[in-house]
Amino acid sequence: MNKTTTTTSGLAPSKKASRGNAGSAGQYPPAPPWHSLPAEDVLSRLTTRTDGLSSAEAANRLKQGGRNEIARHKAVSPWQLLLKQFTNFFVIVLLFAAALAFAVSYLPNESERRLTAFFILGIIVISVMLGFFEEYRAQKELEALDRLLVFRTVVTRDGSQHQIDAAEVVPGDILDLSQGQKVPADARVIQAFSLRTDESALTGESVGADKAPEPVAPDADLAERTSMVYGSTYVTHGKGLAVAVATGMTTEVGQIASTLQHMEERPTPFQVEVQKMARQMTLIVGILAIAIAFILLFLLHESLIDVALNTLSLAVATIPESLPIVLVFALALGAHQMATRHAVVRRLAVVESLGSVDTICTDKTGTLTQNVMTLQRVYVGGQVLPAAQVHASDHTTAEVLRAGILCNEAIFDATDHQIVGDPVDTAMVRAAQSAGLNVEQERTSHPEVHVIPFSSERKMMTTVHQQGSQRVAYAKGAPGVILGCCTAVSDGTQAQPLDEAHRNAVQAAINQLQADGMYVLGLASRALPGELPADDIEHGMTFLGLQALIDPPKPEAAQTIALAQGAGIRMIMITGDNSRTAQAVAKDLGIGQHAIEARELENLSRTELASSMKKTDIVARATPLIKQQVLQALQDDGHFVAMTGDGVNDATALKQSDVGVAMGLRGTDIAKESAAMVLLDDSVTSIVAAVEEGRRIFDNIRKFTNYLLSTSLGEVFVVLALSLAGFFPLSAKMLLWVNVVTDLVPASALAADPAVPHVMKRRPRRHNEPILNKAIYWTIAGSIFRTLIAYSLLFWVGLQFGGVEYARTMLFTGIVLHAFTRVMVVRQLDDLSIWSNKTLLIAYAVAVGLQLLALYTPLAQVFGVVSLDWRAWAVMIPVVAVSSIWGVYMTRWILKLVPMWQ
């Protein structure tokens, strides 16, 4: 396709956009059928030009029209979040209990009930504030993560190209579109070079849509508007220019989004498991509470009011209603920690999934290596020259360098005065500059008129340039592919037929350079006889030479890979490079040397491919299709796979993988959108760090779940046992107080527990392994058993010391002391030091302090407790200590019989 350009002149003064809401920038009213207008008319109506708006014009339009953003679900305000807490079922139950106590207080001789009502209201306030605080923190963590993933795009302003935040695009901006880019706004095409977009998310058409500047009929369907590109779609092929006509909520996608504001996300399997567990606990506690109610009413002959208040309080105090809140907080906290280690998750559920990763399929360039290409050697005129001896004064060398900078997509960013683009392209530009070639002058004197873009299938790129009255094509790509397009070779003075001897010499140079671990590119040119079809341009070319670049491994990569391998994680390198280069890098990093070329895998059955991948360490010359097939083979073999990707064609593999990992620096927008996690530094170290963080978070989820369930069930069983013995051991106020002091705060502190030293020295957990496995069920059962003995002993001793009130007070205090020692026992699952979580220690100190206030201040009258003398403490402290030590040894014994990670 020939290059098509439109220009305008004598534009009218800038019109002002109608003011819209922030985040929903508008289009200029009235909205004409942009697709049916000639490009010149579009530019005129938008009061813009092909060299772009001025910075002042863009700033004014942004101020008037608002940012180019699709409105998300409106963030819940703090007030709404606070009111939401009162819709919690358990808060409603407590409100009912408070209302009941308050109403009964007006009956004769029942005025003391009013104090109970106020106390329950106080507990409600504390519970609501704790829940609000945890949810608010989690919401803020997620908002902070969103701000890390900034979508940037290239626009022309003030006559030069600039990279800007896509949210700052305004109507009239000239968009520079290239392969892999996400289109930032609805735009009218004004230039196209084999431009094609993926509009499947918008139109449902799975086939790419070819684009051209020519207008179409006004009544053309959306899918037939070939002169338009639409926001949130992707450029899958070619490049072009387009002028933005609609932004924000006035784009086609924005209008759809406005109808989806109230849709809710489906819960993940992990969330379903937690909800199921909470329902089961509610059922168990509900049945036990009903049993206790019958005992109180018919065995102990308590009043109906006392039975209702005590039973409701028991249910509220023992059902772990804070579990979902703490879960969200733990995942959000984990996501935040991952972000500090340069890995941003796009869905919270990924945090938990990362702990199951047992195979990482990683790219080489930029992930394992530094992604800082530098020219090392040039093969020209039959000889290999080191970079220091490469000079543009030599005609043949200059032609090799010229091919490298013309067939090149790197740009000069006028804002940052930097070369922006692919590392290979920028390295070739820097090398040409160092050799004495004036890059800007060469590009100006050889304007680009056509491009055949690079693709992973073709493994080459070709551009056509005007050179005086003649057109010249320059190509670069995989050396074998470039050689296949050539019929002649430049020997330093003139072109010679590319015979077998020349081919062998070039191939020998390629083999040697690749064996040295270098990235080798072939370059060729052709003087075109006239207008040619695109398919004919890349035939009959003249081979110019080779540029050999090197991208050294990242200093920390070898240590990271050793850490991953020690954690039972298999590392597989999947690269587009040849096997020699890949093996050289893999050897330095400690990855196995068993390499296989992608073409050897193409005709294998799924069973054969799965068998082959059992022993393969490197897949070289990989195409996106092979990458996807390798992933499927690994998953068929039962592996939980994290797959990295950065290109347009990686999107399918990223979506299909268990944890898709996109590159934040060099990744295309479509790859980032398809991935579950984005690396801010494109480093394998960040992947392994995220896996470590995922393991830590899952460990902590297990710990606080274990803690909440064991303490809750321990309380309800001791109440049941002592009720059967003829005593109701805890009043409603005591039960609610214990719930506040020992529930949400310590569980949240457990969610922030550090990683255990051996977290990366054990094998990955099975991805379908439940939160509560056999080992934890047994530890919970053991905890209930020893808790029942300890609490019953305290109550019995209290009866001997001072009667029922004294016994209640001892049990009331013993539960608070024992709950926090239970935390320490739970942490024995991971052999963590008592001093490793200062937040937990502070929570314990505050709880004990509050309990002392309840015992030795006027609050004692509120709770109906008595002051405990030294005898009680002399019994409680040893009993709690012995019970805790017993719990430690019991836990270790259970773990020996039923290993945690079996």
* Active-site residue set: 363
- Please tell me what DSSP assigns to residue 726: T
According to DSSP, residue 53 is labeled B
For 41, residues 6+ apart whose C-beta sits below 8 A from its C-beta are none
Residue 861, CA distances (Å) to 741, 853, 855 in order: 19, 11, 9
- Give the sign of the dihedral formed by CA 271, CA 272, CA 275, CA 277: negative
Give 3-state DSSP helix, strand, coil % of the chain, rounded to 5. 50, 15, 30
Listed residue (448, 422, 439) closest to 366, CA to CA: 422
CA-to-CA dists, residue 48 to 31, 39, 214, 226, 792, angstroms:
16, 11, 19, 22, 83
Instruction: Report the run of H or E that residue 557 belongs to, with start and end.
Output: helix 557-566
194 by DSSP, 3-state: which? strand
Q: Angle at CA 236, nearest 5°, toward 234 and 241?
A: 70
Tokens 């309380």, residue located: 715
Please give the span between the terminal C-alpha atoms of the chain, in angstroms, as a whole number.
61
Q: Got the DSSP string for 846-898?
A: HHHHHHHHHHHSTHHHHHT-----HHHHHHHHHHHHHHHHHHHHHHHHHHHHS
The two three-digit tokens of residue 120, written as one number: 């329950």
What are the structure tokens assigned to 260, written together?
Answer: 């989806």
- CB of 583 closer than 8 Å to CB of 511: no
Instruction: For residue 258, give the H/E element and its range.
Output: helix 252-258
By three-state DSSP, how is residue 728 classified? coil
Q: Who contacts 496 (Cβ-Cβ below 8 Å, separation ≥6)?
A: 488, 489, 490, 502
Backbone angles phi, psi at 471, to 5 degrees: -110, 140
Tokens 């790197």 found at: 410
Task: Tell me the three state secondary structure of residue 450.
Answer: strand
List Cβ neighbours of 270 (8 Å cut-off, separation of 6 or more). Answer: 349, 352, 353
668 phi/psi in degrees, rounded to 5 = -75, 160
The string of DSSP codes covering 635-699 is HHTT--EEEEE-SGGGHHHHHHSSEEEEETTT--HHHHHH-SEEESS--HHHHHHHHHHHHHHHH
Nearest to 702 by CA among 556, 854, 828: 828
Look up residue 111 and give its amino acid: S
CB 778 within 8 A of CB 898: yes
Residues ≥6 apart with Cβ < 8 Å to 734:
808, 812, 863, 864, 865
CA angle 147, 150, 154 (to 5 degrees): 155
DSSP β-bridge partners for residue 374: 550
What span, in angstroms and rounded, lies between the C-alpha atoms of 744 and 739? 8
> Contact, 693 vs 265, CB < 8 A?
no
Residue 224 pairs in a beta bridge with none
